[in-house]
Structure formats: structure tokens, C-alpha cells
Structure 1
């Protein structure tokens, strides 16, 4: 039986892509903007998909506005207790905002199975549009982020996806994320790094469709 279609929205968060720049980099603030988007679009408890920092945004929405979310899909997400980035990495993070070649190299390193130079160029061009204050600002936001003690506010299903070759998120972080929610499953994907969404989009789509079919029959 063919599954019914789904509407997909992929908004740029503040400080990213084509969206406006704001004067701070903060995960709960980004989550507030996304909660406003959900309500402005009159969406009825959508499934939130969050990648990397976006996973933190998804967890913030789900724990602070649980009525707005039916399910979470967290892809190589920061853990519920955030992500501490070593201080010695910050000079390199700052260098990304003025050096497009360095940015491209960084994206290639975290997505080792992406073999599409043209698409990598597009990702790099989008990444360079980020608000300059958000390069180190987002890293600081990840370090102070925490939903520890509040994940029980969200009772919906959660899918945690983790790429075995991820050099940013560890398997233990992914396990902590899955363990923090009452109804969760952890999918570990071999041969991909920090983003199955761009490295193996067909596999990501299949996993997402299966998750939806299993939880929303």
C-alpha cells in the first residue's frame, strides 16, 4: 500500500542561509523562532527533524513546547547535555567565516562519504552566509545548552540517527540522547560521517519514512 504524502518544510533558522541575522547565537532563541514558524504556518504538531545544532533546537522545542511536536528525528545531534568544544578549536572556527576554501575542506572532512563536488560547493556557499557572530557563537551555544532533567516533558517517539564516521558527535553521545527519551530508537549507520542527510540522502529518506510508518499508522 502506498503511503500518503507528507508536506516538508525546510526553513533557514535565524543567522543561517537566507534568513535574517539576529544579534545573538542561542539554541533556545532559535527554538523560539521555529516554534513561532510552526504556529504562524498553522502546522498541527509536525515531526521535527534536527541535524547537529539543529538537534538541540529540536530538543528545545520538544521540551519547552511539547504540544507543538508529534515526533523528533535527531541526526548526529548534540546530546541533551550539549557539546563542549575544546578552546583550542575556536581559532579554526573563526577562520571559517573569512576563508571559503577552508570552509569547504571542513565540510568535506565531516562528510567523508559525500562524493559530489558540485553539491559540496553549494553547501559551502550556504555555510558562508551564516551570521559572522554565529561561527563561534553557535559553538558557545552548544557548550551551554542543556535539556537534562526536562526530556520527560516530551512523550512522543524519537529517532536518533548516528553516522559511525562522525568526527564531531560520538556514539556515546548518541546513546545518551536516545536514553534521555522514554520512546526512542537509535539507528547507527556505517560508512557515513556527520550528515547522512547529505551523504546518503536515499537512506535517510527510507529511515524517515519507516519511522513515520511505524509510529503514525
Structure 2
């Protein structure tokens, strides 16, 4: 991939998709009935922050967005996403953001693995490799192939390739940890596509998956990011 990912465009699109589902997210919130309003505000603030630091390094954009969100939205969701942005800022320090490594942004933003313990894969390439049966690759090979693996996972290959991808190694999935691998398998058994299954498994094993309304909005966030990153890797 030649170019870097534009965080402003990414978060603008996430905000737009959340706004389109704002009423449904409010209805899903059985407590305050305003989660849709709140999460749209959260991502509007994130977008505003990264736009203000558009010329800065990715890690600096994410760090500023974390601080800005933490100061300007004191809701549980706002603080959780602020923590996720801080994790992402730390992870991408000294790096650029590209389709090949940006699954890490999703993992950090949602707090993937935070609800399931510390034995989850920390690398997006490790996650994709395990899900698709590529866990035996050397780290450098796995990292460089992450964009291709994500494209294949989301339906970028032909039918025969997709069929071969379905033959994933259960032992590799289970070795990923308590939640992500098992949730992926369960979602596949229920007839979900690879993308739906991956989104469901990531959200279920994350901080955002602990309440139904947050899980619903986090699924929109994750699926939007994955779609954008797949388009960027082609």
C-alpha cells in the first residue's frame, strides 16, 4: 500500500454511519435512551480533534483526540473510547497508519481483549492469521500479508479461495483466547459471513461488548473501519 490512511475521512465516515443509525441506537439503550445521540457526539468530537491535528503524526492525532474527548464527553462510552484512542496512540507511536497495520486501530479503539484477559493476540496480523489459518507464518510475512488477509476475509477473493479460507484451524482459533476465536466459530455456525463473524467476535471480546447498546454501536464502528481499510488495500 503506497499511501497512508486518512484519519479524518475514516472518522467522518464512522460518524455518518452512526448518525444514520442514531434512532435505532437510542431505542437499544434501555437505560437512558440516548446512546445514539451520545455516540454520534463522541465521534463528532474525535473527528474534530484529528482534523485539528491533520498535519501531525498519527500517534499525535490519536493522543490529542483521546485528551479532547476525555475533556468534552464524560459519558461511559466517551471515556471508554478516549481510553481506546490512548491505547491506539501508544501502539502507533513512530508508525504510519496503513491498511496493512490498521486492524490494530480497531482492536485498540474497542478495547478488544480487555474483557477477556491478556492472552489475546496483540498484532492485527496475528489475529487475521489465526482466523484464516495463517498462524504459522513468520512475523514479517504475516504483517506484510495482513492487508491481503483482511481482503480475503471480507470477500475479496474468488469463490474457491473463499471456500478454502473456511477450512480454518480450530486449534488456532481456540489458542487466540477465551472469546474471540470461540465467538468467531459460533457466529460462523449461525450462518454469518466472515466479516459479520469477525465484527461480532471482536466486539463480544471487547470493552464495548459488555452492554447491548454499546455492542450495537461498536459493531457499526468496526464494520465501517474494516470496509474502509479493505477498500484502501485493493
Name the structure where helix makes up a greater proportion of residues: 2
Same fold (TM over 0.5): no
Name the structure where strand makes up a greater proportion of residues: 1
TM-score by length of 1: 0.33
TM-score by length of 2: 0.31
